[in-house]
Amino acid sequence: MARLVERSIIVTGAAQGIGAAYAKALASEGAKLALCDLAPPDETADAIRSAGGTVLARACDITQPAAVAAFAAEVEREHGGIQALVNNAALFGNLALKSLEDITSEEWDQVMRVNVRGTFECIKAVMPAMRRQGYGKIVNIASATVFKGAPMMLHYVASKGAIVALTRSVAREVGDAGIRINCLAPGLTMSANVEANQDWAGRIVEANIASRCLKRDAVPDDLIGALVFLASGESDFMTGQTIVVDGGSVTH
């Protein structure tokens, strides 16, 4: 039986790659999807509709609070509520590996603005609907790099460390309102953007695979089971937690 029947779920960064895989998987479990990205995620939405799913797709910059609030209000109005939010939108696949001395202040601020403040803006935007319902599930996307202290990507790792801390703090603040918030922390996953980035080729990927208990590439489908669990009622007595899905590179 589908585990997300009639749940209204927002997925950010759903135009391609892992976000698109998340959206399609949630729809296959019966969820009503609301998707956003910088450009309208129409291709993902069309695939969901073709499979018989219900979906709303909009362009939305998650760093713009008015736009995010308007999107959340439309989702609540059109779908009758917001049961879950998947905070997937982030800068990663197109980032170049570089030493901390080579990361500019502007690039640092851009990564923090999207990865941390964008996540905050989305959480803030769904709070009114979730408080009215007395229920909600928020799934933040962190990264296994937080637990490794991965080098050459300090801004990204720091931003995802902030997401783990944010998740724990929000869990304490909104638990009494019936809202649960947890993190999914993937390892290096071979999405289209990662595969196109030459910094994630050859020995770096090989070394990452060698560090795993399960020695193979990670693909977006490897993350689906944990995501559906966190978005469903099966995890209703979990909050403030981080689940690492990386083939056992990190044992957290």
Indicate which residues carry an active-site annotation: 156
Contact 34, 27 (CB under 8 A): no
d(CA 25, CA 19): 10
- Answer whether 17's CB lies under 8 Å from 223's CB: no
Q: Is 186 helix (H, G, I), strand (E, B) or coil?
A: strand
Distance in angstroms (rounded) separating the CA atoms of residues 94 and 199: 9
| Residue of 52, 53, 51 whose CA lies nearest to 35 | 53
Q: In whole angstroms, what is the distance from residue 193 CA to residue 45 CA?
A: 20
